[in-house]
Structure 1
Amino acid sequence: MSDESPNPSADRDDLSADRSDDPDGSVTTTEPESRSEDRDDAAVSPDADGQDAEASPDADDAPAAQPSVPDADAASGGDDAPDVPPDVQKYARFKKMDGAQYDRVNEFLRERTYVTAREWAIARLCADFRTETGVEMTKIGENLPELVPFMTDTYTPQAVNQARSSFEEKVRKAGATFLYGAMCDFFTAEELDDVMYEATEVAKFLLEVEGVDLTVEEELDAEDRISAVMRDVRESSAELRHDHSECPECGHDLTADD
């Protein structure tokens, strides 16, 4: 494997809490007032085609998706403040990130993925709060600070939908980019193994942060299955590129039965 393979676990401290010096040892969690690098990936509402208004994964200068603003009584915990639903109270997907700051989470993701912290968190919530009739976007938006420690603002349903659409679009584009890179003969088999190893390590780390506990046997089994699939992809793409003849690297007859 490459000596430069990332080790997401080594950056775990980057996502840890910044604690104040108060005697009670309270945890300070802050999301920047203006998250121009993230919530501004696209306009609040989708375009006419129902797609995210973001033109590309790097379009970070678009207008911000405005969160909903709770009224004064709700903010102060008055009598009119809505009760937190039981399933929200029980939700513990991001508990390992209690005290984490939005900027640190976002920086970690930006260095290793296409998605922002906002898109990652909301995409996870949309999957977890999906029902037979759709996604409970209103519940997600109104309870976002209770569901995700590093998110401090509530969101409108439109802003939740925009973040989910942005996540989906980026995954599709990243998938097409990766698959083309795997099929175009740019990487050797060993280099492709390195790419897959690095991607798998980042993905496993994010799953662990979300609370998924993977045994060593499960990790090894997943890596073996992924490697097997990528070998098939490479062999099939070589057959397509070279007109069902022989492999240019080893002279193997691609049409011959093994």
Structure 2
Amino acid sequence: MNDGSDAPEPEPPSDAPADTDDERNGRPSAVETDTSSEPETGEPGDELDADADAGNADSSSDADAGAAMPGVPDPEPEESDVPEDVQKYARFKKMDGAQYDRVNEFLRDRTYVTAREWAIARLCSDFRTETGVEMTKIGENLPELVPFMTDTYTPQAVNQARSSFEEKVRKAGATFLYGAMCDFFTAEELDDVMYESTEVAKFLLEVEGVDLSVEEELEAEERISSVMREVREASDELRERDDE
């Protein structure tokens, strides 16, 4: 949770574009985060876990204070207009109590995407149908689906965040492969880069509620290692041609 020294930065209004020109160009926008802060040390997610624990403690205190008094009947429950699949959506529950600006700061220190791009990309995967993605349902129920999102989005804003996520992943992939193939990194340094990237990716999946088995982790690591071997071989072939 925020320590009170910095006010949380506002999220974009529901009718505003989800991504600014600055953000598309790789520069954080004023809405997203203050990039002047130094990255925190420790394992991935330590600060997010602390925020979530503190938020859960606050919620428990509020619940105790608002408990029904003896002899006073509880009010009749109102019929919910939230879709059933939204009510049952269980991802991001580990983030209860976490604030948007802290989640955004964590991601910007370790990835190329923002908090809203991360959340909406996952929602677009989970709410994909045979005819497309349920943009309207995602936007209208965004605060119900993701604890650290506090405003609704238009379908257009959802689509823009989704497109921005895809574009950044493609650019990040091209950047990484170029760095691997241009002989800037040694094989050992590339292994370190892959290890750090894998740890962050696994943490994000765990936060989403994805339980990776040991077999799944080993399979994913083998796929990555296989790709890296192909990249190194292609890089060696290119350099040999240049030397001829």
Q: TM-score, normalised by structure 2?
A: 0.71
Alpha-carbon contact 2:9-2:31 (below 8 Å) kept: no
Match of 1:117 in 2: 115
- Describe the shift of the 1:98–1:62 C-alpha distance in structure 2 as closer, same or farther (beyond 3 A): closer
For residues 116-160 of structure 1, the C-alpha deviation after alignment (integer angstroms, 9 at most, x for no partner) is 101100111011111111111110000000000010101111111
In the alignment, the residues of structure 2 paired with residue 133 and residue 218 of structure 1 have an alpha-carbon distance, to the nearest angstrom, of: 29
Q: How does 1:123-162 map to 2 (within 5 A)?
A: 123-162=121-160
- Describe the shift of the 1:136–1:241 C-alpha distance in structure 2 as closer, same or farther (beyond 3 A): same
Q: How does 1:97-246 map to 2 (within 5 A)?
A: 97-243=95-241
Alpha-carbon contact 2:124-2:133 (below 8 Å) kept: yes
- Taking every aligned residue pair, what percent have the same amino acid on both sides? 80
In the alignment, the residues of structure 2 paired with residue 56 and residue 131 of structure 1 have an alpha-carbon distance, to the nearest angstrom, of: 31
For residues 74-120 of structure 1, the C-alpha deviation after alignment (integer angstroms, 9 at most, x for no partner) is xxxxxxx9710011011111111111111111111010001010110
In the alignment, the residues of structure 2 paired with residue 45 and residue 92 of structure 1 have an alpha-carbon distance, to the nearest angstrom, of: 24
In the alignment, the residues of structure 2 paired with residue 205 and residue 165 of structure 1 have an alpha-carbon distance, to the nearest angstrom, of: 23
Question: Any unmatched runs of 5+ in structure 1?
Answer: 1-16, 19-30, 47-51, 64-80, 247-258
- Describe the shift of the 1:114–1:187 C-alpha distance in structure 2 as closer, same or farther (beyond 3 A): same
User: What SS does the corresponding residue of 2:107 show, helix, strand or coil?
Assistant: helix
In the alignment, the residues of structure 2 paired with residue 213 and residue 169 of structure 1 have an alpha-carbon distance, to the nearest angstrom, of: 27
Match of 2:17 in 1: 44
CA RMSD in angstroms, aligned pairs only: 2.8
Q: Which amino acid aligns with 1:227?
A: S
Match of 1:89 in 2: 87
Residues 1:34 and 2:10 are matched in the alignment: yes
Match of 1:57 in 2: 26
Match of 2:59 in 1: none
Q: Which amino acid aligns with 2:227?
A: V
Match of 2:45 in 1: none
Alpha-carbon contact 1:96-1:209 (below 8 Å) kept: yes
In the alignment, the residues of structure 2 paired with residue 101 and residue 59 of structure 1 have an alpha-carbon distance, to the nearest angstrom, of: 18
- Describe the shift of the 1:245–1:224 C-alpha distance in structure 2 as closer, same or farther (beyond 3 A): farther
In the alignment, the residues of structure 2 paired with residue 213 and residue 55 of structure 1 have an alpha-carbon distance, to the nearest angstrom, of: 32
Match of 1:71 in 2: none
In the alignment, the residues of structure 2 paired with residue 45 and residue 221 of structure 1 have an alpha-carbon distance, to the nearest angstrom, of: 35
Task: Note the C-alpha offset of 1:220.
Answer: 2.8
Question: Any unmatched runs of 5+ in structure 2?
Answer: 33-78
Task: Note the C-alpha offset of 1:59.
Answer: 5.0
Q: TM-score, normalised by structure 1?
A: 0.67
Alpha-carbon contact 2:91-2:208 (below 8 Å) kept: yes
Choose between structure 1 and 2: higher helix proportion.
Answer: 2
Task: Note the C-alpha offset of 1:235.
Answer: 1.0
Report the count of equivalent residues: 192
Task: Note the C-alpha offset of 1:225.
Answer: 2.8
In the alignment, the residues of structure 2 paired with residue 59 and residue 207 of structure 1 have an alpha-carbon distance, to the nearest angstrom, of: 24
Task: Note the C-alpha offset of 1:164.
Answer: 0.7
For residues 204-232 of structure 1, the C-alpha deviation after alignment (integer angstroms, 9 at most, x for no partner) is 11011111111233323322331222012
Alpha-carbon contact 1:239-1:245 (below 8 Å) kept: no
In the alignment, the residues of structure 2 paired with residue 55 and residue 196 of structure 1 have an alpha-carbon distance, to the nearest angstrom, of: 25
